[in-house]
Amino acid sequence: MLQKIGNQVYEWVVNQNPWTNVYGLARSLIAFSTALTLLVNDVTTFFRPVAGVDTYPNCTNNHLSIFCLVPADYFYLNVAKWIAIIILLITASGWRPRITGILHWWIAFSLQTSAVTLDGGEQVAQVLTFLMIPITLTDPRKWHWESIKKYDHSIKALHARVVALVCFGCIRFQVSIIYFHAAVAKYFREEWIDGTALYYYLSDPMLGLPNFIKKFADPILTSPLVAFFTWGTTVLELFLFLGLFAKDKWKKPLLISGFILHGLIAIMLGLISFAIIMFAALILYLRPLDKEYKFGKGKFKFSSNNEATMIEKQGA
């Protein structure tokens, strides 16, 4: 029986290639989103006194942050910001995952723990980049866009695959919990139960809809339809959580639905960087690893089989 289990595990590992452009695209999106956040905001936005924290950057028990390695002066913080942007752009290019994986997490960690952030995307980025560190350290490619053309049959390579695949499992579980918590937490808020939450959130003068969108949305927000969209958001988040257990044929519709959800949030609330990070999270969560993107003629689509895996099987 143990031999049978061992053979099944071996087949599972051999028949899946964790190092494809699927996770490569996700890495690039996360890095690009963080770089964009740093690029379009002044350092005075990130580093300033807030309630309960008078000093900035916040370096309490946090000496690893890139922003805590320089003097607490806006000139030096700006230098650190541009160093971070350069690292993130190199990461987004796909170059040397083994080198940029840890650096990517370092920047995400630094921004989340030392700076003043609002939309929650930085926390997701920090967690995902941390969980991807073992995947990047075992990635044998020079660029994360490449396909592996030849399978390494060594025990070391087999162990590397196991580590990467287990980490992907952890990432998918983590993303599912994000959607589970987002859905369940709403049931403890009266405005979500009675279906009026979207009216209050989207009408908020500071965080709500821009005026040019609000005038078109007001007829819906002030009608019974607002309850349909409020409850529909919660239902969709529950379905996205259930994507953890879904068969592959249901994952593509869920992926598209998740893209639409976060795309609408980005348009309506201006949470662009958060949406990009959640796009990446959805790709890691719902895109099968053996379904590489085909970046040809301006298109990328689901492929029936991972070409690299087929080559590996033929060589096995």
Q: Tokens at residue 284, please?
A: 């890691």
Please state, in angstroms and rounded to a whole number, the distance separating the CA atoms of residues 175 and 182. 11
Cite the DSSP H helix spans in 243-295.
Answer: 248-269, 272-286
Report the residue count for the chain.
316
Q: Residue 111 — very low, low, confident or very high, per pLDDT cuts 50/70/90?
A: very high
Distance CA 258, CA 266 (A): 12
Mean pLDDT value across residues 140-150: 89
pLDDT computed for residue 68 by the predictor: 93
CA nearest neighbour of 137 among 302, 18, 227 = 18
pLDDT in tens, 280-315: 999 999 999 888 998 764 444 444 444 444 434 434
DSSP 95: B
Tell me the three state secondary structure of residue 143.
strand
Task: Report the 3 state secondary structure along 10-73.
Answer: HHHHHCCCCCCHHHHHHHHHHHHHHHHHHHHCCHHHHCCCECCECCCCCCCCCCCCHHHCCCCC
Distances in Å between the Cα of 59 and the Cα atoms of 64, 67, 68, 102, 130 are 9, 8, 6, 20, 20
- Does a cis peptide bond (omega within 30 degrees of 0) precede residue 57? yes
pLDDT tens track for 178-197: 999 999 999 888 999 999 99
pLDDT of residue 80: 96
Residue type, 154: S
pTM of full prediction above 0.85: yes
**What are the extents of the domains in the chain?**
2-315
Average pLDDT of the residues in 1-7: 71
Q: Letter for the amino acid at 180?
A: F
2 or 162: which leads in pLDDT: 162
Contacts of 125 by beta carbon, 8 Å cutoff, 6+ apart: 30, 33, 34, 108, 111, 112, 277
Asked whether the beta carbons of 77 and 47 are under 8 A apart, the reply is yes
Closest CA to 16 of 145, 132, 241, 167: 167
Of 42-51, 133-142, 172-181, 270-279, the least confident: 42-51
